Amino acid sequence: MRPESPSLTPPRPLPGDFTVTFNFPLSVLLIDNYDSFTYNLVQSLGELGCEVTVWRNDAFTLDDVWALNPDAIVVSPGPCTPREAGQSVAVIRELGPQFPTLGVCLGHQSIGEAFGARVERARRPVHGKTSPVRHEGTGLFAGLPEEVPVTRYHSLVVRDLPPELVPVAWTTDPEEEVLMALRHRDYPVYGVQFHPESVATEGGMALLANFLTLVREYRAGAEVNA
């Protein structure tokens, strides 16, 4: 399978006072869940300095991932459920302990599926809606304002997290409070229900840069402990 390596251009301007460091020469495997937003993510990661390889969710094995040995994995949005998303759930469940992983939208839901949360229909599906998100201010959200507007496209939500999954961001819809981001308690696995690659998500590039910072820190620690 041929890696997709987008040409690097300076990061696009961000709303608000965010600083994005253009210094992440990392290899990223992006699992494409047959979604139109996939290459927006490819572009955003490329702008941050990453070499991105794109594989369709049903066109590889876990052994292929081990052979590629990327610095990080990103699981894309998609139009289906986690159980219909090819290898996405298996990659998260089996490889998440070793490979820093970010799940976006369907990828976020796939993290929930992989570790035993409930993935269910939202009481109100959203398509292209901008919502204010509250967060804990660390990890993916380090340096972002206490409340940030993000772009949402989803009809599923993650509920009833098991102890190993930690909620880190929320939004309040008229019908319910909706989980917008999570992390694994022990593994370098993170999920966001919204779309950080959308131009309408404030600080989306900063969030991706925060993920890449976490990847770099994890890799540095792994090398020290090797």
Q: Active-site residues: which are they?
A: 105, 195, 197
Around Cβ 22, how many Cβ atoms within 10 Å?
Answer: 12
Q: Give residue for tokens 């839901």.
A: 109
Reported as type and span, the H/E element at residue 121 is strand 118-135
- Residue 153 is which amino acid? Y
Q: Bridge partners of 156? A: 121
First to last CA, the chain: 30
CA 55 to chain centre: 16
